[in-house]
């Protein structure tokens, strides 16, 4: 989790490890609920969604919750 200028003008980027049952709807619901709860723009991503160009750097800087 990082605060600052992240993906598509969000203030908070959440990187999640999906399970076999995770769907796009699951991620969208999580993003919506996080925005409602926190009151800031949130982006929910999975590692595979990240560009290979900077995926390793993002994963190294990620902070588990």
Tell whether the model's pLDDT for residue 3 goes beyond 70. Answer: no
* Amino acid 7: pLDDT: 52
DSSP conformation class of 39: -
Of 8, 27, 11, the closest CA to residue 19 belongs to 27
Which residue segments constitute the domains of the chain, with CATH numbers given? Answer: 10-61 (3.30.460.10)
- Per the structure block, which two tokens stand in for 45? 């991503």
Per-residue pLDDT tens digits for 16-49: 999 999 999 999 999 999 999 999 999 999 999 8
User: Among 10-14, 55-59, 60-64, whose mean pLDDT is lowest?
Assistant: 10-14
Taking the C-alpha atoms of residue 19 and residue 53, their distance in angstroms, rounded to an integer, is 24
């Amino acid at each position: 989790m990082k605060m600052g200028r992240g993906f598509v003008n969000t203030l908070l980027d959440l990187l999640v490890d999906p399970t076999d049952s995770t769907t796009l709807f699951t991620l969208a619901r999580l993003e919506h609920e996080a925005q409602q709860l926190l009151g800031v723009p949130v982006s929910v991503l999975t590692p595979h969604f990240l560009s290979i160009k900077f995926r390793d750097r993002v994963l190294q800087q990620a902070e588990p919750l």
